[in-house]
Amino acid sequence: MTNQTIHSDSGLDLSLLLTVEEAAILLRIGRTQTYELVMRGKIPSVKIGRRRLVVREGLGVYVSSLLEEQALNY
């Protein structure tokens, strides 16, 4: 089985699931911090076999929750 990535016509990656490392890159935070957020349930993930994969849609939800939380603190 090969590891294939689906790209749209614009060249964007359309994968529904990301590795923790890929999620960390998209969030511009470290891998360790991303793993902590995943393990605490702040970023949704699934386990397939031995791999922990982040749900791409969950990254946007996480960022939105940060924005709401910060808005309440002002």
pLDDT in tens, the chain (74 residues): 445 554 555 455 678 999 999 999 999 999 999 999 999 999 999 999 999 999 999 999 999 999 999 988 87
In-domain check, residue 11: no
Q: Which SS3 state, helix, strand or coil, does residue 69 take?
A: helix
Q: Sheet holding 17-19: strands in order across?
A: 17-19, 51-55, 45-48
Total number of domains constituting the chain: 1
pLDDT at 40: 98
In-domain check, residue 1: no
In-domain check, residue 6: no
In-domain check, residue 2: no
Q: Which residues lie closer than 8 Å to 19 by C-beta, 6 or more apart?
A: 51, 53, 54
